[in-house]
Amino acid sequence: MNSPRLSSTLLATALAAALAGCSSVKLDENANKPAPVEQAQAGSGSSGATSGVAPVQAQTSNATQADNLPRVVYFDFDSYVVKDEFRPVIDAHAKALGATPAKRLTLEGHTDERGGSEYNLALGQKRAEAVARALGLLGVSADRVEAVSFGKERPAAEGHDESAWSKNRRVEIKDR
């Protein structure tokens, strides 16, 4: 009875490692593009002026600022690569999590209506895990983040055109 359970666990671990390995390359390639975010992180040990401003803002009123943070990360068609324009959103949530140790997040992955249910569930999961990995790279512990997928089952916008589809390709960041 332990052998099938062990096999399933090993298979799940291997798949997770493979997905993490593939996606982290894509995240690392894009990580060099948003210079202002990286400069603030790189300067945290050497320059008090640049790094002192961001942490103070994130810690002044944790509840208020965490409530006002953007809660959606959008994706391109058939992609789970976090776009550069959403890295500040992820960075802000990482800072809010750092300032509030008891806080936990659920990352809900969604897709547009195109494609089969199984494919979209897998793609939604990859999107949620991509955001989770980006938070992890910023120091957020994996046990504080849960990645789930709803595939195409919970659209944010009804419609059968690019305008609706682009709003449905997303990860929603929710407090647990």
Q: What is the pLDDT of residues 137-153, one digit of tens each?
A: 999 999 999 999 999 99
> Hey, where are the domains in the chain?
2-175
- The residue among 106 and 13 whose pLDDT is bigger is 106
**For residue 122, what are the CA distances in angstroms to 19, 62, 79?**
11, 34, 11
Cα 97-103-108 angle, rounded to 5 deg = 85
From the options 3.30.1330.60, 1.25.40.10, 3.30.70.20, 3.40.50.300, give the CATH code of 2-175.
3.30.1330.60
Residue whose C-alpha is closest to residue 80's, from 149, 143, 176: 149
> How is residue 11 written in tokens?
């298979």
pTM of the complete model: 0.64
**For residue 165, what are the CA distances in angstroms to 80, 115, 161, 170?**
15, 12, 6, 10
